[in-house]
Structure 1
Amino acid sequence: MTEHTSELDQAIAERLEPWTARLGADRKAYFHHVLRVLRSADLLFARSGEPGPPPSSREEFRTAATFHDLGIWAACTFDYLEPSCALAGDWLITHDREDIAELVAEMIRDHHRVRPAGAATDPVELFRRADLIDVTFGARRYGLPYAAYSALMRRYPDSGFHLKLVELTVRRALIHPFSPLPMMRW
């Protein structure tokens, strides 16, 4: 990976380092997706006016973001929520942060919920919204100006992430036509 411009970039790069080989050509795309999700969470949180540290500085957000889709590559499946939760849980155990394991697992399990997962600033809902902003290329922004998302895309280019999602969705639909999006939750 190239130079990292912030402490957050470096922290996420270090967390993803053990998965470099598994991510392969998708490493940069996933790295940038994780950072766009975290930065989107920061923007949503700042817009709320709630007091407290930005989500990107909080362990639960960094861990959930790093591992939320990683099961796609680590377990070679598009039904990746539980494998992603397991990876996050293992990381938290290794780093003596089991105290937030349940919250991180909930953030990962519910990041593709169709309905809201709580109040706008609840960590689970905030993470769900931040991921949805990026997955929809900023079409769904929860009040954020498009210019803010566009700036994130310039800082952390797509690098093929959305194309990969389309490829995985089509492949899954061909093999499992009655369950094309197993990660979706009602």
Structure 2
Amino acid sequence: MTQHTSELDQTIAHRLEPWTARLGDDRKAYFHHVLRVLRLTDLLFAHSGEPGAPPSTREEFRTAAVFHDLGIWAAGTFDYLEPSCALSCDWLIAQRREDLTEVVGSMIHDHHRIRPAGKPTDPVELFRRADLIDVSLGAIRFGLPYSAYSNLTRRYPDSGFHYKLVELTIRRALIHPLSPLPMIRW
């Protein structure tokens, strides 16, 4: 496992700890994906010039990032948005942060939306863009230089995350050829 050098790394590692067995060999890959997405939200927010704290310091972003794809492993399905939303809601209620269930649910539910989910600094859209940058391996960057993404992948290597996505997509397409990517939203 990666050395947890920052408070953010430590917090995310701690939040993923209960899911270690379910994530299995994919734990490091998912951990790094979560951290890349959070760091990308910070870069996109800084690039926008908007004032305010970096998104990775905000509870709604940390919670959405940890749970956004976790339904793949927790529910054993590639149709994972609803299970991921349910996990985040349960966690927020346990933390007495019910006030964030709606925004976090929207961030998770719409993170694979094709069209924009609001203005560039809206939490749902910012999260959608950050995830898309990582899922596209930096091919889509919303104005960020490629070097910013490549620096993140050096700090948090892919560790098989994209390979896993391809594997899951192929498996789903063989079983559900008319619905190979059920998480895509318009």
Aligned twin of 1:31 = 31
* Letter matched to residue 8 of structure 2: L
TM-score, normalised with respect to structure 2: 0.99
Aligned twin of 1:150 = 150
Aligned twin of 2:68 = 68
The correspondence of residues 123-162 of structure 1 with structure 2, limited to 5 A, is: 123-162=123-162
The correspondence of residues 157-172 of structure 1 with structure 2, limited to 5 A, is: 157-172=157-172
The correspondence of residues 107-126 of structure 1 with structure 2, limited to 5 A, is: 107-126=107-126
- Per-residue CA deviation, residues 79-136 of structure 1 (Å, 9 max, x unaligned), is 0000000000011011111101000000000000000000000000000000000000
TM-score, normalised with respect to structure 1: 0.99
- Per-residue CA deviation, residues 28-80 of structure 1 (Å, 9 max, x unaligned), is 00000000000000000000010110000000000000000000000000000
Q: CA deviation at 1:3?
A: 2.8
Aligned twin of 1:100 = 100
Distance 2:2 2:72 in 1: 23
Aligned twin of 1:54 = 54
Percent of aligned pairs with the same residue?
A: 81
Aligned twin of 1:84 = 84
Aligned twin of 1:8 = 8
Q: CA deviation at 1:2?
A: 4.2
Q: Structure 1: which 5+ residue stretches go unaligned?
A: none
**Number of aligned pairs?**
186
Distance 1:57 1:115 in 2: 26
Q: CA RMSD in A?
A: 0.5
Q: Structure 2: which 5+ residue stretches go unaligned?
A: none
